[in-house]
């Protein structure tokens, strides 16, 4: 029963209807919780505050039950650890921290303002559901693989922002001492100019300042396009890789064996990720002299041999 509860509260796999229904149930609960939090800020809906409070109470109770069940079944999430260490590992993991911050503000809502602000963390609860799906995995993979290029482009933007802010401050401070009071005022102006079209609250009035603003605005268009191009190229690369990998396994109509090589994209992935990505069912993993059952969270290692079958063949049978 404990193992089945773990399977249900984890992100659902294809064919496991109770687990998928639980995922959708949690999504609905989160949306109701966040929606009630938003609606409580409208004075015109004051007569319904009691209803919003009841919805929040019920949803937080559901969050508490889910949090307790995840702690209780943590040993299946980290099978290589002891029961106590597995529970501690979950408590300090991203999911554990988000779950805790989701329910913590409810008990300390009347206390410090920081606890009231933590209510926003409930929205990030949705990331756990979305993180297991292909579209979200592609985004996170692209951001991780292109992190160095993205950081370099952000560094360039920061340098241009600082340089333009100091130049504009020196040019405009004499003409507008109450507008460009210090370098921070220049930073605000440069940020709104480089990253947008300007808000109009701070703007140059001198001829030299306006000339500099034109040049900086043109630079901003080019600079902002750098990280956009990097991320777009990353998406193209990822989808090309996935299409190539998918093509490799299209011929598996019956039982087949797949060798996990060091350069293969399968290496390091879990059984669940491989099955969802390539529409196959992995039955067992041959690892050296051992035959390992294909548990969902089992990570594939170099030289593993996967005994697999396509989902199409299984459905026909």
- Is residue 154 in a domain? yes
Q: Tell me which of 132, 161, 180 is where a domain ends.
A: 132
Mean pLDDT for the stretch of residues 269-298: 79
Confidence of residue 286 (pLDDT cuts 50, 70, 90): confident
Q: Tell me which of 245, 269, 297 is where a domain ends.
A: 245
Q: SS3 letters for the chain?
A: CHHHHHHHHCCCCCCCHHHHHHHHHHHHHHHHHHHHHHHCCCHHHHHHHHHHHHHHHHHHHHHHHHHHHHHHCHHHHCCCCCHHHHHHHHHHCHHHHHHHHHHHHHHCCCCCHHHHHHHHHHHHHHHHHHCCCHHHHHHHHHHHHCHHHHHHHHHHHHHHHHHHHHHHHHHHCCCCCCCCCCHHHHHHHHHHHHHCCCCCCCCCCCHHHHHHHHHHHHHHHHHHHHHHHHHHHHHHHHHHHHHHHHHHCCCCCCCEEEECCCCCCCCCCEHHHHHHHHCEEEEEEEECCEEEECCCCCECCCCCEEEEEEHHHHHHC
Model confidence at 313: pLDDT above 50: no
Distance CA 234, CA 277 (A): 18
Tell me the CA distances in angstroms from 166 to 67, 159, 196, 207, 215, one per residue in order.
Answer: 50, 11, 19, 17, 15
Together in a domain, 18 and 118: yes
Instruction: Note whether 48 and 40 are within 8 A (CB).
Output: no
Q: 107: domain range?
A: 2-132
Mean pLDDT for the stretch of residues 278-282: 76
Confidence of residue 316 (pLDDT cuts 50, 70, 90): very low
- Is residue 137 in a domain? no
Number of domains in the chain: 3
Together in a domain, 235 and 261: no
pLDDT at residue 21, rounded to an integer: 84
Distance CA 172, CA 95 (A): 49
Q: Residue 26 is part of a domain; what is its CATH number?
A: 1.20.120.350
Together in a domain, 289 and 231: no
Together in a domain, 44 and 113: yes
- Is residue 141 in a domain? no
- Is residue 142 in a domain? no
Together in a domain, 30 and 92: yes
Q: Could you tell me the two tokens for 76?
A: 């299946």
Q: SS3 letters for 96-116?
A: HHHHHHHHHHHHCCCCCHHHH
- Is residue 139 in a domain? no
Q: Tell me which of 198, 219, 245 is where a domain ends.
A: 245
From 65-74, 130-139, 216-225, 263-272, the region with the lowest mean pLDDT: 130-139
Tell me the CA distances in angstroms from 274 to 32, 127, 131, 249, 286, one per residue in order.
Answer: 33, 20, 15, 11, 16
Together in a domain, 233 and 268: no
Together in a domain, 232 and 163: yes
Q: Residue 205 is part of a domain; what is its CATH number?
A: 1.10.287.70
- Is residue 138 in a domain? no
Together in a domain, 284 and 241: no
CB burial of 129-140 (b: ≥16 within 10 Å; e: otherwise) equals: beebeeeebbbe
Confidence of residue 312 (pLDDT cuts 50, 70, 90): very low
Confidence of residue 317 (pLDDT cuts 50, 70, 90): very low
Greatest pairwise CA separation for the chain in angstroms = 82
pTM of the predicted structure, to 2 decimals? 0.54
- Is residue 118 in a domain? yes
pLDDT at residue 108, rounded to an integer: 65
Model confidence at 311: pLDDT above 60: no
Q: Other CB atoms closer than 10 Å to residue 169's CB: what's the count? A: 20
pLDDT at residue 244, rounded to an integer: 61
pLDDT at residue 14, rounded to an integer: 57
- Is residue 32 in a domain? yes
Together in a domain, 80 and 109: yes
Together in a domain, 80 and 127: yes
Distance CA 155, CA 149 (A): 10
Together in a domain, 125 and 52: yes
Together in a domain, 164 and 68: no
Residue of higher predicted confidence among 118 and 37: 37
């Amino acid at each position: 029963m404990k193992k089945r509860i773990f399977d249900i509260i984890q992100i659902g796999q294809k064919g496991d209807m109770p687990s998928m229904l639980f995922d959708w149930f949690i999504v609905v609960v989160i949306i109701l919780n966040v929606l009630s939090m938003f609606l409580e800020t409208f004075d015109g809906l004051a007569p319904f505050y009691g209803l919003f409070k009841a919805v929040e109470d019920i949803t937080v109770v559901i969050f508490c039950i889910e949090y307790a069940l995840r702690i209780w079944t943590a040993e299946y999430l980290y099978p290589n650890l002891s029961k106590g260490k597995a529970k501690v590992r979950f408590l300090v993991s991203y999911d554990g921290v988000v779950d805790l911050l989701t329910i913590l503000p409810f008990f300390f809502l009347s206390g410090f303002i920081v606890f009231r602000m933590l209510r926003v963390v409930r929205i990030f609860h949705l990331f756990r559901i979305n993180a297991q799906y292909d579209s979200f995995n592609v985004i996170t993979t692209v951001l991780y693989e292109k992190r160095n290029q993205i950081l370099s482009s952000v560094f360039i933007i920061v340098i241009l922002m600082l340089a333009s802010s100091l130049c504009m401050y020196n040019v405009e401070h004499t003409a507008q001492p109450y507008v460009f009071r210090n370098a921070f005022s220049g930073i605000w102006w440069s940020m709104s100019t480089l990253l947008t079209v300007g808000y109009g609250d701070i703007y140059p009035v001198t001829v030299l300042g306006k000339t500099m603003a034109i040049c900086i605005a043109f630079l901003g268009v080019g600079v902002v396009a750098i990280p956009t191009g990097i991320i777009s190229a990353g998406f193209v690369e990822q989808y090309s890789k996935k299409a190539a990998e998918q093509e490799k396994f299209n011929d598996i109509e019956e039982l087949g064996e797949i060798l996990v090589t060091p350069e293969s994209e399968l290496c390091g992935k879990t059984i669940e990720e491989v099955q969802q990505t390539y529409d196959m069912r992995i039955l067992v993993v041959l690892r050296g002299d051992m035959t390992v059952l294909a548990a969902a969270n089992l990570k594939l290692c170099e030289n593993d041999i996967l005994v697999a079958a396509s989902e199409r063949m299984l459905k026909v049978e």
